[in-house]
Amino acid sequence: MKKPLYIINTGNAMLSPLKAIYPDQISSIEVIKNKAAIQLHGEKAKDGVVIITIKEQDLDKVLKKLKEDHMIE
């Protein structure tokens, strides 16, 4: 099973953070795969990268929840 690297507003998440984020808190999602992912983020991105941008007004709340759940570095 492939496990992409998740990035939340420039911070790496250790697991899929999607269970902790409400859809209305997301500003955008970008997927980078193949060689481009490795070139940008190193070998840890060999299975792709999912970049999730959280809306500014929700960012502190989301990051706090992710840290509490040990889902972000």
Domain borders along the chain are 5-68
Confidence of residue 63 (pLDDT cuts 50, 70, 90): confident
Looking at per-residue pLDDT, the higher value among 48 and 14 belongs to: 48
Q: pLDDT exceeding 70 applies to what percent of the chain?
A: 99
CA distance linking residue 61 with residue 32, whole number of Å: 26
48 versus 68: the higher-pLDDT residue is 48
Joined together, the tokens standing for residue 33 give 């795969």
Cα gap 32→43, rounded to integer Å: 13
**Residue 70 reports pLDDT greater than 80:** no
Per-residue pLDDT at 73: 65
Phi-psi region of 44 (alpha: psi -120 to 50; beta: other; left: phi over 0): alpha
pLDDT of residue 3: 87
Both tokens of 45, joined, read 């991105």
At residue 31, the pLDDT reads 94
